[in-house]
Structure 1
Amino acid sequence: MKVEATSDLAATANPSAARTISMGKAIAYFAFSLVINSAGNVLTLVTSAKIHPSFLGAAYWTAAEANLGTAFHWNLFWAFLIMGFLTAVLNAVLMHHWSWKRIIGNMVFMVPFSALIQVFEDFFMGSYPTLFGGLPDARSTGMVIFYVFLNFVGVALIATAISIYQRVNLVLHPADDLMQILRFRYFKGQAAKAMWVSYIPPTLMAIVAIIVTRQFTNFGLGTIFAFVAQGGITGIADKWVFPKLKHQALDVGKPTDND
């Protein structure tokens, strides 16, 4: 973990204060990352649901938000949107500065992201039978292995998407904005510490959901894989996916005497 943190810091220690790519390119990169992020999140959820008994689980934030949605009878759109907004508020507290521009940016991300989550869930669950009948339940060892593979692919898609839109830094998912703020404002660029601390909010979400539903779902092997490997995959994607795309203007607020 220390090697990874040092490597990540070296790659982003001096991000450009100005944008070096056009707005058109930034929007194109962002749109692409939004689609693959949404697809990856839903793949982790659906593959987990199709194995009985379920042991895969979804990516960490995804699992927590899905469980909280179940607890309060929200569909995925509202679960992701509401928790995204609350995380954006937390980010403002951590920065000691309320920025409507940043909050709106987080919501600009969350609205199409949450909508795409619902679209991909409907697609993979078979709600559009003329296009795709949906992923069937895993009824053989081969299908179970294939779904484990798809689950890990979903995690890789999420990690790759994070790499792209964090480098673009146009608007961010509130959870990734949280990790970035923690990393550069509170942990002197140490990615590992920032990542672990950024998992506190979804952990609290999951605890609330378990208390309400008395069920422990959407957490499993895939969640562990995401917890351990997602940051590393993001670092790899920084180097190999659109390698000419460099980190753009970083803003984590001005330091104060209390920081």
Structure 2
Amino acid sequence: MTKGLLWLCTSVLLNAFGNALTVKAAFGSAPWTAASLNISSATGLTVGTVLILMGLVVLVADDMLRQHWNGIKDVFNFLYMMSFGYLIDLWLLVMQPITVNGWLLRVLVCVIGVLCIAAALSIYFKVNLVLHPFDDMLKILREKYLKGNVVLAQRISLGIPLAIGLAVGFFRHELVGINLGTLISFLCMGYFILFFDRFLPVHVNREAMLHHRMHRAHPAKQSQI
């Protein structure tokens, strides 16, 4: 369990760092971050704060789609979402003195950011302890409404923030955060995650964790086997 939590902390730090890099590069961010950038530009709220507020709305929407409250899992998903949002703001604060000039450098920083996000998501899905509400929506759509069609579920779940970002940007005549990085993230993120799945040495023995929990819950029964 401790090993899983350490990997989870590594994942959220790396994910927030990658998203902050794409924001700093100003060459397009992942769809939810891009939407938060446009709302942030319109309201003056920080990117992380907007992500948390959107996550809270999606958390409620997830339970409505699921047609029941997810219990303690919702609490942990909410805490993960809060950590992610505040960490993005922290990374952006740390990166504030850094200047990224020139389109080539901006593209490079943006691609590195997307790869960091993919690596973080690979770790996060392997650990499988919590789900960000954005990812939970994809899972619910895929399993409950779209008969396992992950491609369609991804397009719908990512199409929502893209539509929000585009609507806010066009209304204000100032589109922020939607560019090459958004396209790369939208089209290639799944392939990048598969790549890191093969090469990242993340090993969480979930069967051993389950056996340990069962042993603690039923020690007498276990001793008779």
Q: TM-score, normalised by structure 2?
A: 0.84
The one of 151, 159, 170 aligned to 2:118: 159
Aligned residues: 208
Q: Which residue of 1 aligns with 2:15?
A: 37
Q: Which residue of 1 aligns with 2:109?
A: 150
- Listed one character per residue, the Cα deviations across residues 84-137 of structure 1 (whole Å, up to 9, x for unaligned) are 1111111111111112323212211111111110111011112xxxxxxx1x24
Task: Tell me how far apart the structure 1 counterparts of residues 137 and 206 of structure 2 sit (CA, whole Å).
Answer: 17
* Cα pair distance change 1:238/1:180, threshold 3 Å: farther
* Cα pair distance change 1:101/1:60, threshold 3 Å: same
Q: Which residue of 2 aligns with 1:57?
A: 28
Task: Tell me how far apart the structure 1 counterparts of residues 2 and 96 of structure 2 sit (CA, whole Å).
Answer: 34
* Cα pair distance change 1:241/1:137, threshold 3 Å: closer
Aligned pairs for 1:6-45 within 5 A:
23-45=1-23
* Letter in structure 1 aligned against 2:6: A
Task: Tell me how far apart the structure 2 counterparts of residues 245 and 194 of structure 1 sit (CA, whole Å).
Answer: 27
- Listed one character per residue, the Cα deviations across residues 153-202 of structure 1 (whole Å, up to 9, x for unaligned) are 11111122112112212112211121222223333333212111111320
The alignment status of 1:94 with 2:65, answered yes or no, reads yes
Unaligned runs of 5+ in 2: 210-225
The one of 168, 183, 189 aligned to 1:224: 183
Does structure 2 retain, via aligned residues, the 8 Å contact 1:167–1:246? no
Does structure 1 retain, via aligned residues, the 8 Å contact 2:24–2:100? no
Structure label with greater radius of gyration: 2
* Letter in structure 2 aligned against 1:57: G
Q: Which residue of 2 aligns with 1:117?
A: 88
* Cα pair distance change 1:154/1:233, threshold 3 Å: same
- Listed one character per residue, the Cα deviations across residues 47-72 of structure 1 (whole Å, up to 9, x for unaligned) are 11xxxxxxx21121111111112222
Between stretches 192-201 and 177-186, larger displacement belongs to 177-186
Task: Tell me how far apart the structure 1 counterparts of residues 94 and 117 of structure 2 sit (CA, whole Å).
Answer: 18
Task: Tell me how far apart the structure 2 counterparts of residues 94 and 64 of structure 1 sit (CA, whole Å).
Answer: 22
Between stretches 73-82 and 235-244, larger displacement belongs to 235-244
The alignment status of 1:237 with 2:196, answered yes or no, reads yes
Q: TM-score, normalised by structure 1?
A: 0.74
Q: What is the DSSP-based 3-state SS (H/G/I as helix, E as strand, rest coil) of the residue aligned with 1:118?
A: helix
The one of 138, 141, 144 aligned to 1:182: 141
Q: Which runs of 4+ in 1 moved over 4 A?
A: 245-249
* Letter in structure 2 aligned against 1:114: G
Larger proportion of helix: 2
Between stretches 100-109 and 182-191, larger displacement belongs to 182-191
Does structure 2 retain, via aligned residues, the 8 Å contact 1:63–1:219? yes
Task: Tell me how far apart the structure 2 counterparts of residues 212 and 182 of structure 1 sit (CA, whole Å).
Answer: 29
The one of 33, 48, 51 aligned to 1:77: 48
